[in-house]
């Protein structure tokens, strides 16, 4: 039968990379208790979840629409959606707020954990606990691998250092999910890039690890039944490169990048950005000036279809995790809300808004739970 870790399914063309990555690696989660610690932290790490449009206003002096924050009386929705924090709403609500600023139905912003990452991790652990290529009969004849190796989540820091030294294809990656094989994480690289231990912890355990677990949802064909708007292609906001779809991969990169920084408070893409704008085409008499403008960071901002996908994925995963807490059984909950594409748990559209600036928004989607 050979080595169950190295005898991998050669499906996605990464088998050489993966073999090299794990050859010098150690398990990231050495036992179930390690994994449970990560999972419990993820359940406790709640952020104001939801999707709201970025804001803009019409500048009479400039004669054009410009980005702004939602506390501007002239703010209008821009047809790109992001999290409440990155839309510049963090000063307008507190935890457990009384009103949802964007929704006239007066629902509160729900503060929730990153449920899709938790659900994907539960599903992954259940499927990977038996080493690749092993059967129940194999396990009866000889003991299986230790938990840490069986689940194939590795600290592959030496391999990542080699990628950086040789400018390899993954030189700037913090982690990689090799489809149907395993996950490798660069923990030492994150430590070197971190300002302090807290930012290191946030980057690895609340950003990189959830992101890579989330990619397990990319390859599950049942996702076509969960997402109301399945993708055939997309842009990876981390690299800015267009990704073509292969097989059943639906490329949730834009959603995953949206979730990652939001739940890592020390990530540079979290929260609201302060932007220094250098202009040479300012009002008459001003040849050049600098404007500091606080507005929602457009990193991983989603169009309406993907904002709906974001909502559907969060809602589905929340139900699955809460209905089966700490369940590592074969997960049958994929079809829970999947009688039709998007399931029965789709967000509603509310409060049509007028089109402006040559954009047809079609209305603000209330994407809150």
Domain total of the chain? 1
What's the residue count for the chain?
369
Reported as a pLDDT band with limits 50, 70 and 90, residue 369 is very low
Domain that holds residue 87: 15-366
What does the DSSP assignment read for 107-138?
PPPPEE--HHHHHHHHHHHHHHSSPTT--HHH
| Residue 207 clears pLDDT 60, i.e. is over it | yes
Q: How far apart are CA 187 and CA 38, in angstroms?
A: 15
User: DSSP assignment of 241-285, as one string?
Assistant: EEEE--TT----HHHHHHHHHHH-TTSTTSSEEEEEEEESS-STT
Label residue 157 by pLDDT band (50, 70, 90): very high
Residue 206 has pLDDT above 90, yes or no: yes
Residue 107, pLDDT above cutoff 60:
no
Q: Rounded to an integer, what distance in angstroms lies between the CA atom of residue 90 and that of residue 138?
A: 54
- 2 inside domain: no
Question: Which pLDDT score is estimated for 366?
Answer: 31
Crossing angle for the helix pair 115-128 and 253-263, to the nearest 10 degrees: 110
The pLDDT of residue 113: 94
- Decide if 96 is inside a domain: yes
Please state, in angstroms and as integers, the Cα–Cα distance from residue 81 to each residue in 40, 54, 73, 89, 198, following that order. Answer: 29, 6, 19, 13, 29
Whether 6 maps to a domain, the answer reads no
Mean pLDDT across 85-110: 60
pLDDT in tens, 29-82: 998 899 999 999 999 998 888 888 888 889 888 898 888 877 788 888 888 888
Lowest mean pLDDT among 7-11, 20-24, 168-172: 7-11
7: in domain: no
Does residue 263 lie in a domain region?
yes
Q: Is residue 211 part of a domain?
A: yes
Categorize the per-residue pLDDT at 281 as very low, low, confident or very high, splitting at 50, 70 and 90. low
Q: How far is CA 89 from CA 58, 68, 263, 282, in A?
A: 19, 11, 16, 28
Residue 164 · residue 155 · CB < 8 Å: no
Q: Tell me which DSSP letter residue 302 carries.
A: B
**Residue 129: φ, ψ to 5°:** -60, -35
- Give the mean model confidence (pLDDT) for residues 113-141: 83
Cα three-residue angle 85-90-96, rounded to 5 degrees: 100
Give the integer Cα–Cα distance in Å for 209 and 121.
Answer: 9
% of the chain with per-residue pLDDT over 90:
26
Burial (CB < 10 A; 0-12, 13-18, 19+), residue 153, is buried
List the single range of 57-66, 200-209, 336-345 with lowest mean pLDDT: 336-345
Write down the pLDDT at residue 343: 30
pLDDT at 218: 85
Q: Indicate whether 177 belongs to any domain.
A: yes
- Residue 211 is predicted with a pLDDT of 96
Residue 43, Cβ neighbours under 10 Å: how many? 15
pLDDT average, residue stretch 192-215: 95
Using only C-alpha atoms, what is the Rg of the chain?
Answer: 22
- What are 209-235's pLDDT values in tens digits? 999 999 999 878 777 788 888 777 778
Query: Does 349 map to a domain?
Result: yes
Buried-exposed string 207-232: b where 16+ CB fall within 10 A, e elsewhere:
bbbbbbbbbbbbbeeebebbbbebbe
Query: What does the pLDDT average to over 10-19?
Result: 61
């Amino acid at each position: 039968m050979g080595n169950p870790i190295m005898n991998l399914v050669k499906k996605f063309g990464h088998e050489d990379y993966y073999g090299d990555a794990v050859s010098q690696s150690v398990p990231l989660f050495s036992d179930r208790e390690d994994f449970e610690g990560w999972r419990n932290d993820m359940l406790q790490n709640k952020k104001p979840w939801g999707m709201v449009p970025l804001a803009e206003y019409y500048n009479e002096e400039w004669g054009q629409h410009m980005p702004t924050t939602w506390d501007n009386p002239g703010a209008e929705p821009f047809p790109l959606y992001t999290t409440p924090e990155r839309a510049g709403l963090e000063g307008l609500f507190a935890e457990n707020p009384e009103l949802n600023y964007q929704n006239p139905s007066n629902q509160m912003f729900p503060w929730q954990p990153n449920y899709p990452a938790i659900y994907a991790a539960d599903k992954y652990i259940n499927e990977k606990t038996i080493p690749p290529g092993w059967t129940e009969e194999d396990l009866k004849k000889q003991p299986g691998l230790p938990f840490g190796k069986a689940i194939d989540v590795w600290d592959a820091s030496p391999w990542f250092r080699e990628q950086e030294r040789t400018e390899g294809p993954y030189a700037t990656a913090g982690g990689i999910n090799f489809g149907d094989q395993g996950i490798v994480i660069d923990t030492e690289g994150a430590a070197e890039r971190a300002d302090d231990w807290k930012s290191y912890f946030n980057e690895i355990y609340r950003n990189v690890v959830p992101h890579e677990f989330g990619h397990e949802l990319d390859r599950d064909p049942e996702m076509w039944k969960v997402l109301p708007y399945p993708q055939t292609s997309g842009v990876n906001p981390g690299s800015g490169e267009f990704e073509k779809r292969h097989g059943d991969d639906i490329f949730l990169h834009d959603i995953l990048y949206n979730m990652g920084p939001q739940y890592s408070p020390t990530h540079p893409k979290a929260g609201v950005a302060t932007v220094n704008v250098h202009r040479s085409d300012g009002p008459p008499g001003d040849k050049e000036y600098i404007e500091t403008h606080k507005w929602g960071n457009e990193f991983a901002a989603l169009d309406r279809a993907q904002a709906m996908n974001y909502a559907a994925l969060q809602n589905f995963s929340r139900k699955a995790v809460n209905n089966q807490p700490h369940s590592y059984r074969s997960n049958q909950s994929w079809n829970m809300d999947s009688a039709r594409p998007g399931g029965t748990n789709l967000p509603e559209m509310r409060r049509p808004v007028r089109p402006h600036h040559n954009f047809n928004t079609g209305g603000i989607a209330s994407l809150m739970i």
